[in-house]
Amino acid sequence: MYSTSFPGCEMKFALGLLLIGVAWWYSRIERSVSLEESTLVGWKKQLGAPLVKFKRVALGLNANLDLIVSGTEVLQRLVGARKGDDKAVEPADHSVIESIDSLQQMFAYRMARCSAAERAVKTRRLFAEIVEAAEKVDEKQYFVGGNAALVGLTMVTEFSGTQVLLGGPVGSQLKSLLPANVTVPEACFQKNDEIHLIMEYKTGDRWGPATAPCANRFIMSHDVGNGRLSALETFFSALNDFQPNLIVLSGLHLLEEQEESFWKERIETLVKRLKEISPYIPIHLELASTANKTFLAAIAESVFPWVDSIGLNEQELLALCQASEGPHRIHDDRNTQPEIGVIADQVHWLLKRFGVRSSTRLTRVHFHSLTFHMLGIVEGTWTNSLSAVGGAARMAGRRACNVLAIDPGKVELKIPRAFLRSVEDAQLRREPIVYDPREPVSQWSRGNLKFFFSPVLVCKKPLKTVGLGDAISATGLQYSEMVMGTSRM
């Protein structure tokens, strides 16, 4: 997914020897046992039970009603209803959806790369037109939406005894979908729900010249309350009474559509409230797709030092590197999945750039993608991280296939059989990892940072793509424990 360069002779020789070793190793594995089945057994042996130290979890700042539909069916209704809009689609990236044409282009662009993305729709009228078409699709679902609400849903359904405070705009239909052990501050209730349109696509779906290499989704919204972080003050005011032992924040990306002066003021207000939180209460920030690099850089510089943990995917990590001069900023469209060594370098940079120092809280980064997860921590700050990254990766397969236990015949291992732990670090580059399904979670150190890696067993025919990142982050957090007293603020 990224353009990189390697020392030629050294790399070719090392990889040549490695491939010979990999071939010999896999020839020894029983042919009757698949890599997927061996990985499931390996997880069971490696992973302990969740610690579930976080029984009272406060989640803000976004909540909405998700409308989940087939993206191609929505576009067929929109284009079919408008004469002249059936011209050839030219895939293109857009920072905002301004027309049906820009929606087609953006959908095709992201679908061809199988990359999840989220964009705002410029006008309420255009968004209403798109939603009206979506509501006419025969197969549609309404579901709890918004990163904060989805993390909360996982917390209460997967980890018994967890109580959740949800601070975000909640309308009548969303309220009816929330479990009883989710508390919403009275000031967060409103008459109408915020709607997010989830345009899903399956492997092989086509739009214009684009064909989807895997299943994923494209998300659109035209938020009013979420887009202004209207629940911010109410949420933080409710913390004293709720007494959480974990705070999870999300939805900051929805500020992107506002004027710069407005989002700067809201970020400043957020940081002011974060500074009031005890260092003994972990704060996790879940990122989402943004297109404005200036906005993203402001989030990183202002907010990152005041949170203990960050969750993000490859699109968001790449955008951060581009916005703040991180490594491997050149995007290679030829690959749809990120390189493991490149991601390790970027996670290392992120922790070094925004963490580690005595004036920051940041000590943990949870990276998740379709095919693998990686957890980077400052040594001595979090425990049970091996189980956290493995448990979260296992949850991804469960949720995508919508099952309680993964069927090895319905998933596939898609990581390389051997991979680099770094592109930049010479020592790590000379010692690649050969994947061993008996111990699917790997770990290594780089200076005072520790890394934990787990593959994902990718669902062949996913039934659900929405909310995977939120379920993953919730699971990883519930397996983790922050070592008290390590926060350096």
Contact yes or no for 190/171 (Cβ under 8 A): yes
Question: pLDDT at position 3, please?
Answer: 46
Residues in the chain: 489
Residue ranges per structural domain of the chain: 1-49+282-489
Q: Phi and psi dihedrals of 197, rounded to 5?
A: -95, 120
Question: pLDDT at position 224, please?
Answer: 85
Per-residue pLDDT at 437 exceeds 50: yes
**Between 233 and 120, whose confidence is greater?**
233
Element (H, E) at 59: strand 56-60
Percent of the chain with pLDDT over 70: 89
* Distance of alpha carbon 163 from alpha carbon 152, whole angstroms: 9
Strand order in the sheet with 141-145: 117-120, 216-221, 195-201, 64-70, 141-145
Tell me the per-residue pLDDT of 303-332, one tens digit each, with 9 for 90 and over: 999 999 999 999 999 999 999 999 998 866
The predicted model gives 101-127 an average pLDDT of: 92
Q: How confident is the model at residue 33 (pLDDT cuts 50, 70, 90)?
A: confident
Per-residue pLDDT at 23 exceeds 70: no
Torsion region of 189: left, alpha or beta (phi above 0 gives left; psi -120 to 50 gives alpha)? beta
Task: Of 18-22, 218-222, 246-250, 436-440, give the lowest mean pLDDT range.
Answer: 18-22
Per-residue pLDDT at 46 exceeds 70: yes
Per-residue pLDDT at 9 exceeds 70: no
Per-residue pLDDT at 334 exceeds 90: no
Count Cβ atoms within 10 A of the Cβ of residue 381 and give its class: 0-12 exposed, 13-18 middle, 19 or more buried: buried
Tell me which residue of 354, 346, 307 sits closest to 326, measured CA to CA.
346
Tell me the per-residue pLDDT of 146-189, one tens digit each, with 9 for 90 and over: 999 999 999 999 998 999 999 999 999 999 999 999 999 999 99
* Distance of alpha carbon 268 from alpha carbon 299, whole angstroms: 10
Question: pLDDT at position 21, please?
Answer: 54
Classify 270 as helix, strand or coil: helix
Other beta carbons within 10 Å of 469: 26
Q: DSSP state, 98?
A: -
Element (H, E) at 126: helix 124-135
Task: Give Cα separations from 63 to 171, 229, 311 (angstroms).
Answer: 9, 10, 18
Per 3-state DSSP, what percentage of the chain is helix, strand, and coil (rounded to 5)? Answer: 40, 20, 40
Per-residue pLDDT at 83 exceeds 70: no
Strand order in the sheet with 309-312: 182-183, 163-167, 56-60, 246-249, 283-286, 309-312, 364-368, 372-378, 449-455, 442-446
Structurally, what CATH architecture does the domain formed by 1-49+282-489 represent? 3-Layer(aba) Sandwich (3.40)
Assigned token pair, 407: 């069927």
Helices marked H in 257-384: 260-274, 293-303, 314-323, 340-354
Per-residue pLDDT at 217 exceeds 50: yes
**To which residue do tokens 């996670």 refer?**
347
Task: Of 27-36, 57-66, 70-79, 277-286, give the lowest mean pLDDT range.
Answer: 27-36
Per-residue pLDDT at 406 exceeds 60: yes
Annotated active-site positions, please?
Answer: 470
The predicted model gives 272-285 an average pLDDT of: 96
